[in-house]
Amino acid sequence: MTTPTTTTTTPTTTTPTPLTAPRPDETPAPTPAAARAVDVVKTYGRGEAAVRALDSASVTIPSGRFTAVMGPSGSGKSTLVHALAGLDHIDSGRILLGNTDLTTLSERERTLLRRERLGFVFQAFNLVPALTAAENIALPLTLAGRRPDPAWRAELVDMLGLGGRLEHRPAQLSGGQQQRVAIGRALVARPDLVFADEPTGNLDSRSGAAVLAFLRDATRSLGQTIVMVTHDPVAAAYADQVVFLSDGRVVDELAAPTAESVLARMARLDAPEGA
């Protein structure tokens, strides 16, 4: 009699693919650029009266970051920001907003680009006196023939702490509240980039600190890209990085700034040569 044979099947086990940890020496992917200036030259005046405000200036503005621009008086910081925003024509070089070369655009195309892709915050607020806070915030969308996104508008108003002030006109608001309305106006259209020119220059220290904290939080919570011109080391310390200009050139950059480290860099720029 034949004894039946029993075949034993050994179960196969699948070894999970181990996760590959990044090597310590690997460099993280660079943050994409929101804007770039490449070898930009800008001269005001002609002949012996000519003043070179930008002298082959180059800078990269990373996306989703808060960048402060500083430098001694006459260093070219405001001219550089005006060039990045397409407010000033340059003599040579390139200005890129994302992949758009501003130097190839007509004046009308620049105007449309600023309206659709940029936001601005000024030292003097520049609110329309006859409009309420809500109407001032919505003004860029009104001019573009677009309706506000109710959810986004509500989130913005809540973050700015303006819920009880929307029906007030500028004359009924404090300076800090007016600047928060101006920031809401700059952000309501979800721009690629916001330019702030001395945004706390007309505010007391407490109101200024609140405005700067909101600008910083807008980059961290909303992913907003902000470029701020300032002469104040305390204001610059709210930024993720500081770009320093001198004699029309970008001469230094500082990451994770503090008021003390910014002040020390500025002191070096202000010091006479050989000192």
Residue ranges of domains in the chain: 66-76+106-270
In CATH terms, the fold of domain 66-76+106-270 is Rossmann fold (3.40.50)
Order across the sheet with 226-229: list the strands.
118-122, 193-197, 226-229, 66-70, 241-246, 249-255
Amino acid (1-letter code) at residue 60:
T
pLDDT for residue 236: 97
Least confident of 23-37, 127-141, 178-192: 23-37
Order across the sheet with 51-62: list the strands.
51-62, 33-44, 92-97, 100-101
pTM for the predicted model, two decimal places = 0.85
Of 133, 166, 255, 160, give the one whose Cα is nearest residue 214: 160
What's the chain's average pLDDT? Answer: 89
- Let me know the angle formed at the C-alpha of 162 by 161 and 164, rounded to the nearest 5 degrees: 115
pLDDT for residue 31: 66
Q: Is the separation of the CB atoms in 127 and 170 below 8 Å?
A: yes
pLDDT for residue 85: 96
Mean pLDDT of 60-83: 96
pLDDT for residue 272: 64
Helix/strand/coil for 104:
helix
* Alpha helices, DSSP H, located in the chain: 77-84, 107-117, 133-143, 150-160, 175-187, 205-222, 233-236, 259-270
Note the pLDDT tens digit of each residue in 89-138. Answer: 999 999 999 999 999 999 999 999 999 999 999 999 999 999 999 999 99
Note the pLDDT tens digit of each residue in 200-251. Answer: 999 999 999 999 999 999 999 889 999 999 999 999 999 999 999 999 999 9
Q: Which long-range contacts (CB under 8 A, 24 or more apart) does 2-8 make?
A: none
pLDDT for residue 274: 53
Of 123, 229, 245, 137, give the one whose Cα is nearest residue 188: 137
For the record, the structure tokens of 253 come out as: 């950059």
pLDDT for residue 32: 82
